[in-house]
Amino acid sequence: MNIISRRGFLSTGAAASALALGACQTTTSTTPAAVPAASPRMTDDGRVIATTRAEPLSPVAERYGIGPISYEARQDGPHALRATGMSIIPSEFHRDVVPYPTRLRPGTIVIDNPERKLFLVLPDGHALRYGIAVGREGFTWRGTGTIYRRAQWPTWTPTANMIRRDASLSRFAGGMPGGPQNPLGARALYLMSGGRDQGYRIHGTPEWWLIGQYVSSGCIRMVNHDVIDLFNRVPNGTRVVTI
């Protein structure tokens, strides 16, 4: 289990937030203090201690062959995957197998905007749940879509409108290469909706402490370790439904 100091993740957040504001990168907070936490661990001098320990999976997960994943730092292809302080993220947003009665086919992704959760439908009335961060009021994506592209450590490119709003983003006009500071995180699932790519993604984020909040301009953010897990479970052609 890794222990992450508050100073460490604040410096990461400041760097990531400096890139603010794409269709998939708008934040309302740059510090983990905005995330509610029940009795977080503290150092003697009052600093928050985050650990990588997630809530245990429900026993029913074993029925589906789903096991726990590690949120510790590790190498992921060409890049270092940073640790996630799961102890700071409220437990309702931790990955787990939960009851989920639905008529949707197994393998369908359901994005529950009001609950800030993503569900991968499993057989027999269950789903694999992940916590997410979703669009702020007026920016939330609604409708249905299909995953048509999947990318590891994707490139992030600001739109022309974003560059007009913030000229400093022009340095990324040719694309910001994938890496630990990239707003799209370790993986991205690109959605086709209404017959075209409207700019919506399910993707990772370097700002893991914002999971469970309304912070983006429409895209669906996940903890990097969780989006890697989801990426490995869903192929192109997967149906995505928002509620």
Cβ proximity of 203 and 219 under 8 Å: yes
**Which three-class secondary structure string do you get for the chain?**
CCEEEHHHHHHHHHHHHCCCCECCECCCCCCHHHCCCCCCEECCCCCEEEECCCCCCCHHHHHHCCCCCCCCCEEECCEEECCCCCCCCCHHHCCEEEECCCCCCCCCEEEECCCCEEEEEECCCEEEEEECEEECCCCCCCCEEEEEEEEECCCECCCHHHHHHCHHHHHHCCCECCCCCCCCCCEEEEEEECCECCCCEEEEECCHHHCCCEEECCCEEEEHHHHHHHHCCCCCCCEEEEC
Question: 177: how many CB neighbours lie within 10 A of its CB?
Answer: 14
What's the whole-model pTM score? Answer: 0.84
Is 21 a member of any domain? yes
Per-residue pLDDT tens over the stretch 161-188: 878 989 998 999 999 999 999 999 999 9
Q: Indicate the number of domains in the chain.
A: 1
Per-residue pLDDT tens over the stretch 39-66: 555 556 666 678 999 999 999 999 999 9
Cβ proximity of 230 and 120 under 8 Å: yes
Contacts of 153 by beta carbon, 8 Å cutoff, 6+ apart: 76, 77, 78, 79, 178, 179, 182, 186, 187
Query: Is 24 part of the annotated catalytic residue set?
Result: no
Is 31 a member of any domain? yes
Is 127 a member of any domain? no
What range does the domain containing 203 cover? 3-93+132-242
Is 99 a member of any domain? no
Higher pLDDT, 235 or 218: 235
Is 14 a member of any domain? yes
Query: Is 94 part of the annotated catalytic residue set?
Result: no
Which range, 11-15, 36-40, 65-69, is most confident?
Answer: 65-69
Residue 117's closest CA among 100, 136, 134, 139? 134
| pLDDT value at residue 31 | 40
Which entry of 94, 126, 203, 225 is annotated as an active-site residue? 203
* Per-residue pLDDT at 25 exceeds 60: no
Cβ-in-10-Å burial (0-12, 13-18, 19+) of 122 comes to: buried
Determine the Cα–Cα distance for residues 84 and 82; give it in Å rounded to an integer. Answer: 7
Which entry of 24, 94, 126, 219 is annotated as an active-site residue? 219
CATH number for 143: 2.40.440.10
* Per-residue pLDDT at 19 exceeds 60: no
